[in-house]
Amino acid sequence: MGENTRANKNHLRFADIVIVILCLSVMAYSVNLFRNDLYQTINLQNVQPVGTITIKNNTVQRRIADRVLWDRLRVESPVYLGDIIRVAELSEATLNIEDQHIDIEENTLIRILLSPDGSGALQIELTDGNIGVTTDTESGGLQLNLMGRVIETGAGTTLTAAAGKDGIALQVTEGKAVFIEEGASREISSGTMIALNDKGIEQLVPSAVVTQPRPNARYVKSTPQSLSVRFAWNRVNLRPQDTLRLEIAADRNFSRIVQSVENLASSAEVSLEAGTWNWRLLYENTTLSTGRITVVEAENLNLLSPARGSLFRYRDEPPSLRFQWSEIEEASHYVIEIASSSDFANLRINRQITAPFFVDSSLSEGTWYWRVQPVFSSVYEGGASFSNVSFFRIEQTAQTVPAEQTAVMLEGAQLRELERSAGNEPSPEPVIVLAETPPAPAPTSPPRQAQAAPPLLPVPANRVPANNYRIGIEQLKTQRNLIFRWTAVQGANAYILTLYEQAGDGRRQINRVTVTNPAWTLENVNALGRGTFVWQIEAVSRNSGGTITRRGTAGENTFTMDIPLPAPVQMDDPGVLYGF
């Protein structure tokens, strides 16, 4: 009995040792994978990116060819030769390479390669999914690889490409593309297409090549009226008597169709409000072509503060003013102009700003006029004008100004005169009717307080990471994420967190999220790379529809990713670095 017990104990000890060794091996392997992954990220600091990718919605991931782990990309990230880009379901992104834009649809996988012909040109390999390509009129074009079949695009070409288990399809909207296969070439001109099944056999089926609007078209609506959008297409393998139907829906599944136009030949025109609209062109019940249109409302930019007609008084130092305006969702940046005259002939301030606010203390005594213009990227058709002009006045006084009197509202003739100078219809003069016995004069009231906008919510306190927080390489070995925390603000039901990278020429926005709890987690902190970063947090109050009804004063902290630079990477053959 005793010998059996000892044998069992020895057996248990041996099994325990094996399990411990196995766990340590797995841990060491995981640490080594993380170490390799980390140093791949560090090495990219010395590699010139080939372009940038901008995430439009949800999840987009990137993996270097000889890497195991996927990176979840931030709003705008650099991309490198050899990168594999994966766009998840209900997601989309735009890849910008040498003045060429590649719109990547959901459930799409691409890879960035060097062209095998030795020309040094880049090639986009589409393994699965859908992309839209727009090349600049001054560019040298772009090469595509659709499941082993090469397409060369010329300058000024717009096309869509699809690849999957059923084969490939290519439609050219503008310009031309050359389809190369087994040494032969075939030109695909504007308004034509080619489709091959999984065996490489061309399919001659009823089709429609849409030439207007562009794939993933984006428009700026700068007037209150609906935007008129023209559709035009070329008919392929359709009889003259065959008519088509155009449907516009508010969702991808076309369960909420808002417009349907029947009996169409080769064109149609629809009116659209602001929003994202999905369209499809059908022959009987077969979808011939489909796409998406984004219409951005740009005419409703409102100037929030300083309130119109505000009067700021100071004794010694000019006041620090916070200029704030309503945010336009798709704007890349804003231009703010401040001048001493309503015609803006002599500008005092002319700045480009990515955030919807601006703080300045350089304005001295006088009347100041200001306006803001949203600016959109070149992929949008149309543009926005400046907002309505607002104005305020700054006065210096020899007396101490009580805090409640530093900002009041102008009244009377002075306010009406400023309204006229700003190009607005002033309020009518009051009509005075004299009675037989004039009434006693009303007591003089103090200047009216500025009540045009509710007071700003306070700055969120106890912000973590604290200012000048440092993240070193030792910390990155064990820390995969970064938690942002702050104290909840009374009266706020949401918070806007914006993350910037501090560069030599200013700040570049990395991420912007709206959360309801006073905390947010950046899942992959090593994706930030080396440098200094700024995070801002603003408390806001939103109604049930999600519209912001009250804003707050943003607070900001900085932190540093202190990763040492490795030795320079040899770049004789850029493909070698990524295993190509």
> What CATH topology corresponds to 469-562?
Immunoglobulin-like (2.60.40)
Q: What is the pLDDT of residue 101?
A: 86
Mean pLDDT of 15-41: 65
Q: Among 100-114, 503-517, 519-533, where is mean pLDDT lowest?
A: 503-517
Mean pLDDT of 43-53: 69
Q: Which of 108-122, 407-421, 439-453 has the highest mean pLDDT?
A: 108-122
Q: What is the pLDDT of residue 168?
A: 92
> What would you report as the CA-atom Rg of the chain, rounded to the nearest whole angstrom?
31
Q: What is the dihedral of CA 44, 110, 31, 501, to 10 degrees?
A: 40
Residue 399 has what DSSP assignment?
Answer: S
Residue 516, pLDDT above cutoff 80: yes
Angle at 440 between CA 435 and CA 442, to 5 degrees: 115
> What CATH topology corresponds to 303-421?
Immunoglobulin-like (2.60.40)
Q: What is the pLDDT of residue 411?
A: 55
Cα(185)–Cα(154) distance, integer angstroms: 14
Q: What is the pLDDT of residue 319?
A: 84
Mean pLDDT of 424-442: 40
Per the CB < 8 A criterion, the answer to whether 61 and 70 are in contact is yes
Residue 157, pLDDT above cutoff 70: yes
Mean pLDDT of 30-45: 52
3-state SS track over 500-564: EEEECCEEEEEEEEEECCCEEEECCHHHCCCEEEEEEEEEEEECCCCCEEECECCEEEEEEEECC
Residue 79, pLDDT above cutoff 70: yes
Per the CB < 8 A criterion, the answer to whether 116 and 142 are in contact is no
Q: What is the pLDDT of residue 42?
A: 44
In the sheet with 366-375, reading across from the earlier edge strand, the strands are 347-353, 333-339, 366-375, 390-396, 310-314, 407-409
Mean pLDDT of 181-206: 86
Show Cβ contacts of residue 395 under 8 Å, excluding neighbours closer than 6 positions: 311, 312, 313, 314, 365
Whose tokens are 């700055």? That residue is 459
Q: Among 44-58, 105-119, 202-216, where is mean pLDDT lowest?
A: 44-58
Per the CB < 8 A criterion, the answer to whether 531 and 542 are in contact is no
Cα(309)–Cα(412) distance, integer angstroms: 11
**Whole-number mean pLDDT of the chain?**
79
Mean pLDDT of 247-261: 90
The CATH number of the domain covering residues in 47-203: 2.60.120.1440
Mean pLDDT of 139-147: 84
Banded pLDDT at 426 (limits 50, 70, 90): very low
* Residue 45, phi then psi, degrees to nearest 5: -65, -25
Q: Which of 64-68, 147-151, 400-404 has the highest mean pLDDT?
A: 147-151
Q: Which of 203-207, 240-244, 447-451, 497-501 has the highest mean pLDDT?
A: 240-244
pLDDT tens-digit profile of 159-179?
A: 999 999 989 999 999 889 998
Q: How many CA atoms lie within 13 A of 440 on its CB side?
A: 2
Of 243, 261, 171, the closest CA to residue 211 belongs to 171
Tokens of 184: 């032969």
Cα(531)–Cα(533) distance, integer angstroms: 7
Domain 217-297 coded CATH 2.60.40.380: yes
Mean pLDDT of 75-92: 84
Q: What is the pLDDT of residue 242?
A: 94
Q: What is the pLDDT of residue 131?
A: 93
Residue 428, pLDDT above cutoff 60: no
Each domain of the chain, given as residue ranges in start order, spans 2-44, 47-203, 217-297, 303-421, 469-562
The answer to whether the 47-203 and 469-562 domains have the same CATH topology is no
Residue 1, pLDDT above cutoff 70: no
pLDDT tens-digit profile of 261-309?
A: 999 999 999 999 888 899 999 999 899 999 999 998 887 788 988 888 8
